[in-house]
Structure 1
Amino acid sequence: MKTVLAIRHIHFEDLGTLEPLLRARGYHVRYVDPAGDDLAALDVLSPALMVVLGGPVGAFDEPRYPWLAAELRAVRVRLEAGRPLLGICLGAQLMARALGAAVRPMGVKEIGFAPLALSEAGQASALAGLQGAAVLHWHGDQFAMPDGAQRLAGTAACPNQAFAVGPRVLGLQCHLEADAGTIEGWLLGHACELELAGIDPRMLRAQALAHGQALAAAAQRVFGAWLDGFEAEDAAAPAPVRPAPGP
């Protein structure tokens, strides 16, 4: 059975609507949590897909959260091997760092449901399946575009919202995977952040109700098309060689 390794930093920011799609395609989902699991011991090459999810810390915060260094190494190993990798929010920022790009605070919070503006490359990518659907934005940092990556989308507040490196690597600053049916977990878990940002949770709750169904349908189109782009080729390829254990 194919496995997807999902690095999850906070429990309510999980694979969301992507999880049932993956399970329907025959993937076994395995979550690991950096705060409790040993990331340095992870085999990050064998899984058919690795997904690095969002979280409430910065991609540059390893002095305060030392486990980020091991996570960054895991992302770099996966990238260097050319294995399928999806990064969402913090995950995309870590991917950008691993590819040599800067990650910095924006100076503002971008939180709420709003559409993306697709670049020409984005319109020719799997993101074309968004068809103007509003996605969930929830971040205060932004990544620079890595060398060699295609910029796929942006917003007025955050010009770099998505990038691709070939067909197997996709970084998303926004949350296409968000399940509007679980928005209460987000509102409760990020209550302090919302209060500090002056954002009324009632507004986000109303937006989730208005846009959740369209976002879920768009996410199925986008993620389905992205998976189609490499699954058949990877199925015919030999399994990756795992590194030999150290002395």
Structure 2
Amino acid sequence: MPQALIVRHTSFEGAAGFRQPIEAAGYAFARIDVLDPTFSEADFLSPDLLVLMGGPMGVYDRDAHPWIGGEIARIAERLDGGLPTLGVCLGAQLIAAALGADVYKGPAPEIGFASVTPNAAGLASPVRHLADVPVLHWHGDTFDLPHGCELLASTDRYRHQAYRRGPTLLALQCHPEMGEDPRIARWIDGGAAEMAAAGTDADTIRAEYAAKGPGAVAAGRALLAEWLAELG
């Protein structure tokens, strides 16, 4: 049975809605947290699929989070081997850094439900499932598109919402895995300042999550199921 390793950068940002398509594709599901004492020794090369989830920290916060540098180095080694890798939000930023791109603060936080716009390449990829579907955004950082990668989707605020390199690397700045996971409460409870800076608030996010979340996570699952099927 192929193995999938999910890397969690905080306890309240796990695979969420993505777990179902990963298991449906036949992967045995395992996870590791960055604060696990064994994380610095975790093997990023053996898993058949590596999934890098989100987190509230920035790629540049290396003094506060000394594990970041080591994780980026291991991601780079995995990508050098062309091994299947998926990144979500912080995960997409870590992949960008591993590929030599700059990661930095954006102009303002992007928080709430909004559609991404796939370009022509995106419409010919699994990312097309996100077209016209409001999905959750929760980030304030962005990145340059890594060399050799192809942009797939954008929003009005942030151009780099999804990118890929060949069939084995997919990175998503948005959160199409989120829509039914109750851990959203932890995001909201700790995000008052971010939400205010983004022009939204807790009541609005809760209402959007209830109304738009199921459709968003359904689109995210369709996207991931198709991408996993293309891996063969």
The answer for the alignment partner of 2:229 in structure 1 is 228
SS in 1 for 2:175: coil
SS in 2 for 1:164: strand
Does the alignment pair 1:79 with 2:82?
A: no
The answer for the alignment partner of 2:208 in structure 1 is 207
Question: What is the alpha-carbon distance in structure 2 between the residues aligned to residue 28 and residue 58 of structure 1?
Answer: 29
Deviates more, 1:197-206 or 1:62-71: 197-206
SS in 1 for 2:219: helix
Question: What is the alpha-carbon distance in structure 1 between the residues aligned to residue 180 and residue 197 of structure 2?
Answer: 23
Question: What is the alpha-carbon distance in structure 2 between the residues aligned to residue 104 and residue 77 of structure 1?
Answer: 22
The answer for the alignment partner of 2:54 in structure 1 is 54
Question: What is the alpha-carbon distance in structure 2 between the residues aligned to residue 57 and residue 221 of structure 1?
Answer: 28
Deviates more, 1:23-32 or 1:184-193: 184-193
Question: Shift in Å at residue 40 of structure 1?
Answer: 2.9
Question: Shift in Å at residue 37 of structure 1?
Answer: 3.4
Question: What is the alpha-carbon distance in structure 2 between the residues aligned to residue 148 and residue 204 of structure 1?
Answer: 36
Question: Shift in Å at residue 224 of structure 1?
Answer: 0.8
The answer for the alignment partner of 1:161 in structure 2 is 161
Question: What is the alpha-carbon distance in structure 2 between the residues aligned to residue 124 and residue 149 of structure 1?
Answer: 15
Question: What is the alpha-carbon distance in structure 1 between the residues aligned to residue 93 and residue 101 of structure 2?
Answer: 9
Contact 1:181 1:212 in 2 (8 A): no
Contact 2:109 2:197 in 1 (8 A): no
Residues 87-236 of structure 1 correspond to what in structure 2 (within 5 A)?
Answer: 87-182=87-182, 183-191=184-192, 193-194=194-195, 199-230=200-231, 232=232
Question: What is the alpha-carbon distance in structure 2 between the residues aligned to residue 107 and residue 37 of structure 1?
Answer: 35
Question: What is the alpha-carbon distance in structure 2 between the residues aligned to residue 138 and residue 6 of structure 1?
Answer: 20
Question: Shift in Å at residue 165 of structure 1?
Answer: 0.2
CA 1:179/1:191 → structure 2, altered by over 3 Å: closer, same or farther? same
Question: What is the alpha-carbon distance in structure 2 between the residues aligned to residue 73 and residue 82 of structure 1?
Answer: 15
Question: Shift in Å at residue 198 of structure 1?
Answer: 5.5
Q: Which has the larger radius of gyration?
A: 1
SS in 2 for 1:221: helix
Identical positions, percent: 39
Does the alignment pair 1:17 with 2:17?
A: yes
The answer for the alignment partner of 1:239 in structure 2 is none
Contact 1:93 1:103 in 2 (8 A): yes
Contact 2:113 2:208 in 1 (8 A): yes
Question: What is the alpha-carbon distance in structure 2 between the residues aligned to residue 179 and residue 22 of structure 1?
Answer: 17
SS in 2 for 1:108: strand
Displaced runs of 4+ in structure 1, greater than 4 A?
195-198
Question: What is the alpha-carbon distance in structure 1 between the residues aligned to residue 113 and residue 181 of structure 2?
Answer: 14
Question: What is the alpha-carbon distance in structure 2 between the residues aligned to residue 127 and residue 36 of structure 1?
Answer: 32
Unaligned runs of 5+ in 2: none
- The C-alpha deviation readout for 1:77-104, integer Å capped at 9, x for no partner, is 1101110000011110010011111111
Unaligned runs of 5+ in 1: 233-247
Question: Shift in Å at residue 185 of structure 1?
Answer: 3.0
Deviates more, 1:215-224 or 1:108-117: 215-224
